[in-house]
Amino acid sequence: QSVLTQPPSVSGAPGQRVTISCTGSSSNIGAGYTVHWYQQLPGTAPKLLMYGNSNRPSGVPDRFSGSKSGTSASLAITGLQAEDEADYHCQSYDSSLSAVVFGGGTKLTVL
Amino acid sequence: QVQPQQWGAGLLKPSETLSLTCAVYGESFIGYYWSWIRQPPGKGLEWIGEINHSGSTNYNPTLKSRFTISVDTSKKQFSLKANSVTAADTAVYYCARVGSTSPWGQGTLVTVSS
């Protein structure tokens, strides 16, 4: 049971827009701790996709965007492409646990 | 940025000790916390703990203190040990600086089986 809750899977057709939610609580996202997102392609290590809630590292297409509101955060992907098919993980910090926390991960399928 | 290199035994028997090491290249080791994260087959990521260059550590309180992280700053390396492993410790283990653009280690599959 992960501290941050993500949907197990989402899907969309090429060109469509999908969103992945990450729901936390008042001791993590709701306490103001930033959310990071990682993309994990099949058989590879996770790679930072979004940091500080809504900032893209160099090289990440602007089709990816992040937002945060209250105790939740979201990752949006527009203009879906086949290469976006991967697992996506959100991560923050929890003050009650004094620990880095992850969501359970969401598998994105491009139909 | 250069991917950290990690190594350690991949096949353990129940009750044995897990031991992994991660070497950081091409970036400053000092001033940051370096983490170990694991991912059981088909499951999500679980943070194990972190250490900085001076040896200050933080651990996931849900993992019952079986894990120990140590550092050798002169070699820019940090290590993970876990005693009395069980099948539940079977996972891919990664080293990383979470929340940064630095690449994660390549991962080490640790399988615990009799």
pLDDT in tens, A76-106: 999 999 999 999 999 999 999 999 999 999 9
Instruction: Name the residue facing B47 among A51, A57, A101 (closest C-beta).
Output: A101
Helix (H, G, I), strand (E, B) or coil at A84: helix
The reply to whether residue A100 touches residue B35, judged by beta carbons under 8 angstroms, is yes
What whole-number distance in Å separates Cα of residue A104 and Cα of residue A90? 8
Which chain B residues are closer than 8 Å to A2 by Cβ? 44
The reply to whether residue A97 touches residue B46, judged by beta carbons under 8 angstroms, is no
CA angle A31, A32, A37 (to 5 degrees): 115
Task: Give the chain A residue nearest B93 (alpha carbons).
Answer: A45
pLDDT band at A68 (very low <50, low <70, confident <90, very high): very high
What whole-number distance in Å separates Cα of residue A20 and Cα of residue A77? 9
pLDDT for A75: 98
List residues of B whose CB lies inside 8 A of any A CB. Answer: 35, 37, 43-47, 50, 58-62, 94, 96, 98-101, 103-107
What whole-number distance in Å separates Cα of residue A36 and Cα of residue A22? 10
pLDDT for B26: 83
Evaluate if residue B64 carries a pLDDT over 80.
no
The reply to whether residue B99 touches residue A36, judged by beta carbons under 8 angstroms, is yes
What whole-number distance in Å separates Cα of residue B35 and Cα of residue A14? 36
Distances (CA, A) of A104 to A13, A54, B113: 23, 20, 25
Which chain A residues are closer than 8 Å to B101 by Cβ? 48, 51, 57-58
A-B C-beta contacts closer than 8 Å = 59
**Widest distance between CA atoms in chain A:** 41
What whole-number distance in Å separates Cα of residue A85 and Cα of residue A101? 23
What whole-number distance in Å separates Cα of residue A50 and Cα of residue B102? 13
pLDDT band at B1 (very low <50, low <70, confident <90, very high): confident
Task: Give the chain A residue nearest B59 (alpha carbons).
Answer: A99
pLDDT for B13: 97
Which chain A residues are closer than 8 Å to B50 by Cβ? 100
Which chain A residues are closer than 8 Å to B44 by Cβ? 2, 89, 102-105
What string of DSSP letters covers B36-57? EEEE-TTS--EEEEEE-TT--E
